[in-house]
Structure 1
Amino acid sequence: MVHLGHLWSALEQPQADGPARSPGWVLHAYEAFTAKLVDQERTYPCYFGVQGQQRGNNWFAVFDSSSPREQGVRALGEALVEFREQAWRGPKRQTLIVFAGPPEPHARLSDHQTAFWRLLKDLSAVDPVPWPEGFTTDTADPAWQWCFAGEPWFTFMASPGYQHRDSRNLGPCLTLVFQTRRVFEGLSGSSVAGQAAKRRIRADLEHYDTVPPHPYLGDPAYSSVHKWRQYALPDDQSVGSPEKCPFTG
């Protein structure tokens, strides 16, 4: 059964029938996500995510907004801690996908962006571990990134509200993606492998989305600093002020 705080892998699947039923929207969100990543006719541009789904290295959890919020936030925090322990064992390229639902059919992208940042702030409020040493808490600092449970994370949101940036539309509800820093080992921007991976993904994004890759993702003037701007990309090519991080808003 899929429930608050439960973590399951791509080798499993939530069940919509039987004595331990999952909410129907969870199964729908999972099936939509899977269909997108393993589509044989339209290849998803992040091949690490595709491989993760095929090999069982993608992990999943649920945030159910119909449950009491504090309970849901704490359960999501527990799932993040559990995933962090898993991510530092076994394969390097492991990812946590969180379906935040139930889906809202008429939700706008701006609504989901607000919900995403609110979730990060709420998680920080219940974080039992101090912010890790050596990582700034000042969002105006170009090196700031979101941390939880003593771990600096790369996270981003996907939403059906994206009309042009289809690579960030992963199904019918707000979806959050979390990765530990281990996933980037051997893929730094200065490494040959890292540069090759960036070129490949950017080229695939050019064909997948109806807008070019956002400057935050590849333009050297933007992509190497204030990485929080990659967390919730705009649907167009607009560039905002790096001092106005929504985490502190």
Structure 2
Amino acid sequence: MGSTTETQEAKLAALARDRVRILEPGEDSGSEHGPDWFTRALKPFQQNVGDREYPCHFGRRALEQRELFVTYSDASDLSPLVTALAGFLDYVRPTPEQRQVLAAFVDISKADASHKDYGNAFWSILQYLHDHDDAPWPEEFPATPDEASWEFSFHHTAMFVFAAAPTHLLRASRNLGDCLVLLFQPRNVFHGIDGGTPAGTAARRRIRDRLQRWDVAPPHPSMGNYGDPSNFEWRQYFIPDDASDMYTTCPFQASVESDPEGEC
């Protein structure tokens, strides 16, 4: 038992060196955890995600179960985020039964940033991560965003990523503070509660009910279930504050190499 605990602590210590740590429920954030802007951003994030009525059940549960990890990066240098996300995925891979989530806080240092600015920053971050990925794209997931089974992948792991920005005014559920927040949810988070399953249907009904009380705007038309032929995951990643479509095509482009024999 002791050696297991020590191994776990060693792994968490290694994560901490990569700017990744567990967000403790109700913790009083201190400056030792990062720059001032990051520690300030944690307070409203905790207040929102920790609220019993917060629509995203997965995020709230992760916080309560000590399965919500946090990290930070400056938009001018995203290299620490590459290391942080890879370290997080390595850490959670041996325990797929746990619904562990990483919230990445990014300071884009632009006081007058528009909603489109935050959207462009979000997609630029995903593109940067992909361009600096050390692993091939998972064969079981298409690399083209305009396919129903597409999902962003990094470090050989597919994950649903959604963004929260301070310019989400009508959609308060996607406003988690004064900086851009990216929530990385590996696909195993949704095991057993996928779209179409009884548990998944019930979970999404609860989310929709809470969204009606939390947000001013109704759910965006792009919100759907993974695997539905009419649903495209990328459109749910960064959504407009109204019912419009911000992008006609996905800003993300995957660079997937063919094998030596010319087969994809």
TM-score tier (shorter): 0.7 to 0.9
Per-residue deviation, 1:96? 0.3
> Do the aligned partners of residues 45 and 125 (structure 1) sit closer, same or farther apart at CA in structure 2, a change above 3 Å counting?
same
- The question of 1:210 aligning with 2:216 is answered yes
Pair member with larger Rg: 2
How many aligned residue pairs are there?
Answer: 238
Alignment partner, residue 245 of structure 1: 250
- Structure 2 unaligned runs (5+)? 1-12, 255-264
Aligned equivalent of 2:187, options 181, 192, 199:
181
Alignment partner, residue 30 of structure 2: 15
> Do the aligned partners of residues 193 and 224 (structure 1) sit closer, same or farther apart at CA in structure 2, a change above 3 Å counting?
farther
Per-residue deviation, 1:134? 2.4
- The SS at the match of 1:122 is helix
- The question of 1:140 aligning with 2:146 is answered yes
- The question of 1:111 aligning with 2:154 is answered no
Per-residue deviation, 1:84? 1.2
CA RMSD of aligned residues (A): 2.8
- The question of 1:121 aligning with 2:127 is answered yes
1:199-232 Cα shifts (integer Å, max 9, x gaps) = 1101110111001111222489988521110000
Per-residue deviation, 1:21? 6.5
Q: 1:215-234 to 2 correspondence within 5 Å?
A: 215-218=221-224, 225-234=231-240
Aligned equivalent of 2:75, options 65, 75, 82:
65
- The SS at the match of 2:48 is helix
Alignment partner, residue 95 of structure 1: 101
> Do the aligned partners of residues 223 and 231 (structure 1) sit closer, same or farther apart at CA in structure 2, a change above 3 Å counting?
farther
Per-residue deviation, 1:140? 3.1
Alignment partner, residue 79 of structure 1: 84
For 1:52 and 1:109, locate their aligned partners in 2 and report how far apart those are by CA, in whole Å. Answer: 27
Per-residue deviation, 1:94? 1.2
Q: TM-score when scaled to structure 1?
A: 0.85
- The question of 1:34 aligning with 2:57 is answered no
For 1:154 and 1:202, locate their aligned partners in 2 and report how far apart those are by CA, in whole Å. Answer: 18
Alignment partner, residue 64 of structure 2: 54
> Do the aligned partners of residues 4 and 86 (structure 1) sit closer, same or farther apart at CA in structure 2, a change above 3 Å counting?
closer
For 2:93 and 2:65, locate their aligned partners in 1 and report how far apart those are by CA, in whole Å. Answer: 17
For 1:213 and 1:117, locate their aligned partners in 2 and report how far apart those are by CA, in whole Å. Answer: 21
For 2:75 and 2:246, locate their aligned partners in 1 and report how far apart those are by CA, in whole Å. Answer: 29
2:220 counterpart letter in structure 1? H
For 1:151 and 1:127, locate their aligned partners in 2 and report how far apart those are by CA, in whole Å. Answer: 11
For 2:135 and 2:112, locate their aligned partners in 1 and report how far apart those are by CA, in whole Å. Answer: 37
Alignment identity in percent?
Answer: 35
- The SS at the match of 1:210 is coil
Decide whether the 8 Å contact of 2:170 with 2:241 is kept in 1.
yes
Per-residue deviation, 1:133? 1.0
Q: TM-score when scaled to structure 2?
A: 0.81
Decide whether the 8 Å contact of 1:167 with 1:209 is kept in 2.
yes
1:169-215 Cα shifts (integer Å, max 9, x gaps) = 01110110101111010011121100000111011101110011112
> Do the aligned partners of residues 221 and 147 (structure 1) sit closer, same or farther apart at CA in structure 2, a change above 3 Å counting?
closer
- Structure 1 unaligned runs (5+)? none
